[in-house]
Amino acid sequence: MMTTVAPALRSFAALRWSEVEPGFHVGERDGEFVGYVDTNADGTFVAFDGHSTAVGRFRSLAEAKASLLTTDHPANVRRDRLTRRVALGVATGVGAVAAGLALTAGVLAPFL
């Protein structure tokens, strides 16, 4: 039996940040790309997750970096909820098609 454990909040220290260009910070953990933070001309920071989806605009670099660490940031929660909803819809559709094909095969089997 397999047990699923909810992901814990990621530690801020576990991420390694690199400033690849002035005002452009890239985060990685254990060789995995986590996201990046870009500095705007007005001095605010925009955080993007590992899929280049904007997480939010922040006043400080530390806040922007921290937003990529939590699983409960509003943008992350919305995206995860939408991903689960889409996956459920796709799985339901695929299941319906599979059931239809199985029924069709069952009906046609005596004639083969």
Tell whether 8 is covered by a domain: no
- This model's pTM is above 0.85: no
Q: What is the tally of structural domains in the chain?
A: 2
Percent of the chain with pLDDT over 70: 79
Per residue in 78-102, pLDDT (tens digit) is 777 888 899 999 999 999 999 999 9
Tell whether 2 is covered by a domain: no
Tell whether 61 is covered by a domain: yes
**Is residue 9 within 8 Å of 68, Cβ to Cβ?**
no
Q: Which domain holds residue 21?
A: 13-69
Residues 44 and 82 in one domain: no
Tell whether 86 is covered by a domain: yes
Tell whether 74 is covered by a domain: yes
φ, ψ of residue 82 in degrees (nearest 5): -65, -40
Location of structure tokens 């940040």: 17
Residues 52 and 31 in one domain: yes
Residues 27 and 65 in one domain: yes
